[in-house]
Amino acid sequence: MKKLIIISSVIILIIFIGASGRKAQWITLLDKNLSKWDIYLSFPHKDGYKGEAPVNDSGDLLKPIGYNKNINNVFSVIEENGEPVLRISGEIYGCVYTKESFENYHFKLKVKWGTKKWIPRLNEAKDSGILYHSQGECGVDYWRSWMLSQEFQIIEESMGDYWCIANSKINIKAIKETDNQPYTFTQKGILTSFGSGTSAGNYCKAGSNNELPDNKWNELELITYGDKSLHIVNGKVVMALSNSSYVDGILKPLTKGRIQLQSEAAEVYFKDIQIKPINNLPSEYAGYF
């Protein structure tokens, strides 16, 4: 099995390297064995969590569950119409993340919600996310669950929101009509810096709610080239981002890395997970920057 995984990883790398000068093909990233992904689980977070290191009833620090320990079968692959579907129960915070790192690509998947929610989000919208340009170790963020990255948020009624993860930063054209409202993406907005050390904060709301009704499968697309990226929900651009970077003493570019799919207290299903390399930002999206 280990030999097959290595061969598969080499094939993906060759396809990405050899994509220039010819039309790239879609690469399927999901199979019944999750062979292209690794797992990280942190903690089953409790109500009232404020970022502090979790402790047990005696006040002793808890260790995270860690890598490739699929406790309670949080991540599983089921079959639907003969095709693999990734189920993430959401019971414990964490992620699956690609074994390979990617740069300059078009990524897409389909997503729909399950029925279960867990503490500490029992009374909040179901939530997950695509974390891209992921680098370093898991557990460096507020929830102690994910890698440094940029987030394409998947949340009920606002798919495509942006969150910075750990010390990442990014620029978005956005407006904030009142102090009580979040910044929202709009092409007519002011280019605003979000993330570590900014006055705007870590979050920007998607430009529109393009989630399909009745919990149908939603198609999400992430296009990223250089320091720019686009969040696309069911064919509509809901977020355009530029100057992807992170703070490590100085500002450094954040333009490549692994892809994480979050487990975040809600049951969620993913299928048709695919990626292909690109040689430029598609011309139809140039006007967003």
Per-position pLDDT tens, the chain of length 289: 545 444 455 455 555 555 445 678 999 999 999 999 999 999 999 999 999 999 988 999 999 999 999 999 999 999 999 999 999 999 999 999 999 999 999 999 999 999 999 999 999 999 999 999 999 999 999 999 999 999 999 999 999 999 999 999 999 999 998 888 999 999 999 999 999 889 999 999 999 999 999 999 999 999 999 999 999 999 999 999 999 999 999 999 999 999 999 999 999 999 999 999 999 999 999 999 9
Reported for 101-104, long-range contacts at CB under 8 A and 24+ positions apart, including other chains, are 101/135, 101/256, 101/257, 101/258, 102/16, 102/256, 102/257, 102/258, 102/259, 102/275, 102/277, 103/16, 103/255, 103/256, 103/257, 104/224, 104/225, 104/226, 104/256, 104/277, 104/278, 104/279
Residue position matching structure tokens 């993330």: 195
- What pLDDT score was predicted for residue 24? 85
Distance CA 242, CA 288 (A): 10
Q: DSSP secondary-structure letter at 124? A: S
Domains assigned to the chain: 2-47+57-288 (2.60.120.560)
- Sign, Cα dihedral of 163, 169, 172, 177: positive
Q: DSSP secondary-structure letter at 281? A: -
β-pairing, 236-248 vs 168-175, is: antiparallel
- What pLDDT score was predicted for residue 81? 93
Q: Which helix (H) or strand (E) holds 14?
A: helix 2-17
Distance CA 185, CA 112 (A): 24
Distance CA 118, CA 197 (A): 31
- Sign, Cα dihedral of 65, 72, 38, 129: negative
- What pLDDT score was predicted for residue 20? 47
Distance CA 29, CA 50 (A): 35
Distance CA 265, CA 200 (A): 26
β-pairing, 37-41 vs 236-248, is: unpaired
Which two three-digit tokens encode residue 259?
């892809």
Distance CA 98, CA 111 (A): 17
